[in-house]
Structure 1
Amino acid sequence: MTVDQKKFEYKVGAFVGIGVLLFLALILLLGGDRALFTSSYLVKIKLSSVEGLNIGSVVQLSGLRVGNVKEIDIDPESQKLLVTLRLDRKYQDRITQASAGSLRTQGALGDKYIYVDPGPQGEPALQDGQFLMSDTEGDFLSMLSKRGSEIERVFEILEETEKLLKSLNAGGQSTYLVPELVSGAKELNDLMIDLRQLVGAKSRQGAKSSELSPGSRQDSQTLMSATKHLASILRKIDSGEGTLGALVNDASLHDKIKSFLGSSPREQYMKEVIRGTIKSQER
């Protein structure tokens, strides 16, 4: 074998070796391990579930990619899932001891990733090997996947409400129903005022009841009977009897809707769903 042939073989071998290294680097990059060529450090987080999360999954800081998942294991002490994150060191001052991480869903395909909320500024930065706090709230898509059956009940409530509104509005009844309700409420208020005045007057005449005419006694008895009947109706409503009593006293419907709306970003999501349903029916 000549010297030129040996040089040629060396060149071919070097070229193949470089090609293999570039191919491996490309695989690592496509797999999400972009921290290969950057200065990085490791932090850990404990999660109750990592369903759909894999080694190499993305780690985001307020939507910006800052690293990936290096390892997933079981914590022997808490029996939770211990996730090790490899993070880009240039973002270390933004990930502090007040920051919190959570498992979230990305896009329609349901890819899982770790979302890091930076939290308030001025806190000490997390160091290599320290633990990141976990946020159990999650995002709206994760909540939908976990509580799908309960969300179905919300839409059932919306459908029943739609049917009720349609039945009330059939033939333009709602145009007359609302003014009638307002008028009825006003008349009931006036009736209660007159009733209190009559009861007060009859009480003042109680001492002179023997001097009342038979007609006045009959009016007084009728008034007292009506008052007792009204009081009986109000007691039944207050105790939860009948349909009106159930609506007034049973707060389960309110509690169910409140549990879905919550006091977090889910409230805004559910409001948008309700508004969208109403607008679609108006069209």
Structure 2
Amino acid sequence: MEAGNEEYKVGIFVSLGLLVLAAMIFLLGGDKILFHNYYFLKAKFQNVDGLVKGSVVSLSGINVGTIEEINFSEDNRNLEVILRVDMLYKDRITTGSQAKISTKGALGDKFIFISPGSPGQEVLENGATIVTIERGDFLDTLADQSTGVKDLFAIIQEMYQLLKNINGDDRSLRLMNSLNISAENLAKLTASLEKTSNEIQKGMTHDQNFKRTITSLTNILEKVDQGRGTVGALINDPALYYRLQELVGAPTKNGYVKSMMRKTIEKGSMLTEKN
């Protein structure tokens, strides 16, 4: 009997220890299933996109439950997802709430995101079907991640519309023709400007030569006026002037020159008569 009592006590102790351990695991894991009541909602999707049993159910970013089951619906056209939701948040999930499949984390874990309904709307009871929003393609999913990405896609859309408008009604061809004509006109204008520049440079060269000639002539005249050089001496020396005047000047001083000229003329006449 004593041995049986000991085994009985050990069994009770081990059972209590296991219960305490299980409770601690649930508490640390955040599920708290032993201390909370849950109710179930249905959500129908055409594609669950990797959603699995046990995935998180989130209400405005707060974990409020998990995925209980994923089955084909009776019409076999949709997948029926059973949501297990904490009763504490029942009043916030109404007929105006919407559920969609979202992604979180670097690994892309899938979960159900529920948006709360408006105040005063009817609360969804146990077993009710919540309105769902189907996921779009990859670009739509990426656009939902941040405002910056949405802006980027908006810019891409505007660029697409712009290119579409440009290509419509042969506008791109007309634009290219206009650009070609503008380029030709620009080339002609550049050539004309270059020619004008060369002519201006040549004119400046001729003008510089003319200026140098005037400068040299001015220097020569200044030297002559100052009596420098042979010409300057002839012009500015009074003695030379008087000597020339004595040779071809007044009758009283040029008798010698006249007699020499008369004799030369007479000799020329005699030679002419003999011939």
TM-score for both structures, normalised by structure 2:
0.49
Bigger Rg, which one: 2
TM-score for both structures, normalised by structure 1:
0.47
